[in-house]
Amino acid sequence: MLFVCLGNICRSPMAEAVFRKLASDRGVLDQFRIESRGTGAWHVGDGADPRMVALGQTHAVDLTGHVVRQVSPQDLRDFDVVLAMDRHNLRDLQSLGVARGREIVLMRAYDTEDTEPDVPDPYRDGPEGFEHVYQILLRSCGSLLDDLLKGE
């Protein structure tokens, strides 16, 4: 399971942490390899955005150990499921090529309440933008996990 956004500081690390928590809460964490990456290299080696880390703490979702990494073509061969946070990142990932049997999908394909295709980037938003993204990711990760567990 690889979650991908632009800088790997907001959306994708939160998706990784939310999915990890949901899988842990259900006792199935050991069934998944869960990581996140960014399509850009600006923040490589940094931690998650402090605003997202703080929001995670309010929801008991831990992002404190996150280290930003950039996605590589090898990642697209190593992960069976790759989830892009928006259409721009989807195009960037597709330009790297997709290994046989792998698929890259939009994260919001799993959103049970909204048909908007993109998880908005909260980087320039206030706290309400970060909370909105958290709620989208909580719904989408829950639905994704349900789908994966049905397919066992």
Residue ranges in the chain modelled with pLDDT below 70: 98-101, 152
Read off the tokens for 73. Answer: 């073509």
Q: How many domains does the chain have?
A: 1
Distance CA 85, CA 90 (A): 8
Catalytic residues: 5, 11, 121
- 106: domain range? 2-150
In this structure, what DSSP letter does residue 70 have? B
CA 14 to chain CA mean position, Å: 6
Rg (CA), the chain: 14
- pLDDT tens digits, residue range 35-76? 999 999 999 999 999 999 999 999 999 999 999 999 999 999
pLDDT value at residue 103: 79
Provide the CATH number for the domain around residue 48.
3.40.50.2300
In this structure, what DSSP letter does residue 117 have? S
Residue 152 has a CB neighbour count (10 Å cut-off) of: 6
**Chain-wide mean pLDDT for the chain?**
94
